[in-house]
């Protein structure tokens, strides 16, 4: 059973470096937005992000070669839930696209993702993006010392299911710092009061995957891309969150996010 002492507590130096990494990750998403348009391939988006991270930021794209992942970003399109591999897929009007960015700067990781719409999305596309965004911030709103991991999952699940969407259960948020994935696992469903109590200095991602249809998913033969079994649209937003003495701080928040 996971205990609070199993979860790394970041010191002031760690936190400052995590702020830097988080800011850089958010900047990549700000930068790439204008390039998300019909006729562009996800590989082109990957190349633009890779150059920005490595050349302009002097940072490292964490996904590249991580456990064999072949690209610098994840691009998950329409019914793809997460971990989509950039390739020759051409974006079309009405597509919805999640771009997931993780950068390493001075040994620390910043991890965030955002939904982008190619032109005007369908009504369902817009709705699932909006529900996923609100679900994320419902989860963030309960983060403070003494709250539990279950409180986060409960807030997300109750909202999303109340909006007649579903929460993917096979994938979750995670602790993050010098390592890409640390304790704890942050489930996006759960019961109030259950799980480890949060302490100031914990840093983790919250990244609910919300489906317009049923919650069930499957892994494609590439061993990375996860899709909805019923081919319903899926949306995800992600922030890296620091537990502070009085609440939380979003290390990957950008003024450009909306």
Return mean pLDDT, the chain: 97
Q: How do 96-105 and 74-77 pair as beta strands?
A: antiparallel
| Residue keyed to tokens 């939904």 | 115
Residue 79 DSSP label: T
CB 101 within 8 A of CB 29: yes
Run of H or E including 236: strand 234-236
Domain 9-250: give its CATH code.
3.90.230.10
For residue 122, give the DSSP letter.
Answer: P
**What is the largest distance, in Å, between two alpha-carbon atoms of the chain?**
49
- The pTM for the full model equals 0.96
Pairing of strands 203-206, 234-236: unpaired
Residue 258, pLDDT above cutoff 70:
no
- Enumerate the domain spans of the chain: 9-250
**Is residue 6 predicted with pLDDT exceeding 90?**
no
Mean pLDDT over 10-22 rounds to 98
Contact (Cβ atoms closer than 8 angstroms) between residue 57 and residue 27: yes
Which residues, listed in sequence order, are joined to residue 101 by a DSSP beta bridge? 112
CB count, 10 Å around CB of 231? 10
Give the position of tokens 């990494």.
Answer: 21
Helix, strand or coil, per DSSP, at residue 26: helix
pLDDT band at 133 (very low <50, low <70, confident <90, very high): very high
**What percent of the chain is modeled with pLDDT above 70?**
99
Q: Is 193 exposed, middle or buried (0-12, 13-18, 19+ CB in 10 A)?
A: exposed
CA 227 – CA 58 distance, rounded (Å): 33
Q: Which residues contact 240 (CB under 8 A, 6 or more apart)?
A: 18, 22, 25, 110, 111, 112, 176, 203, 204, 205, 250, 251, 252
Please state whether 146 falls in left (phi above 0), alpha (psi between -120 and 50) or beta: left
Reported confidence tier of residue 255, pLDDT bands at 50, 70, 90: confident
């Amino acid at each position: 059973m996971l205990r609070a002492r199993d979860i790394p507590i970041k010191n002031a130096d760690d936190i400052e470096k995590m702020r830097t990494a988080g800011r850089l990750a958010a900047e990549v998403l700000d930068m790439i937005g204008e390039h998300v348009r019909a006729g562009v391939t996800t590989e082109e988006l990957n190349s633009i992000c890779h150059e920005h991270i490595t050349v302009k930021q002097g940072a490292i794209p964490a996904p590249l070669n991580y456990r064999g992942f072949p690209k610098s970003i994840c691009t998950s399109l329409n019914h793809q839930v997460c971990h989509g591999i950039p390739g020759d897929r051409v974006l079309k009007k009405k597509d919805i696209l999640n771009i997931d960015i993780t950068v390493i700067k001075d040994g620390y990781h910043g991890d965030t993702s955002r939904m982008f719409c190619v032109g005007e999305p369908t009504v369902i596309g817009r709705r699932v993006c909006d529900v996923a965004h609100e679900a994320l911030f419902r989860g963030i709103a309960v983060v403070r010392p003494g709250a539990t991991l279950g409180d986060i999952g409960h807030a997300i699940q109750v909202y999303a299911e109340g909006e007649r969407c579903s929460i993917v259960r096979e994938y979750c948020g995670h602790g993050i710092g010098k390592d890409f994935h640390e304790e704890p696992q942050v489930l996006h469903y759960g019961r109030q009061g259950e799980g480890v109590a949060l302490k100031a200095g914990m840093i983790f991602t919250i990244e609910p995957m919300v489906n317009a249809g049923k919650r069930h998913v499957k892994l494609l033969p590439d061993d990375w891309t996860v899709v909805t079994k019923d081919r319903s649209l899926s949306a995800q937003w992600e922030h890296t969150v620091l537990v502070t003495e009085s609440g939380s701080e979003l290390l990957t928040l950008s003024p450009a996010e909306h």
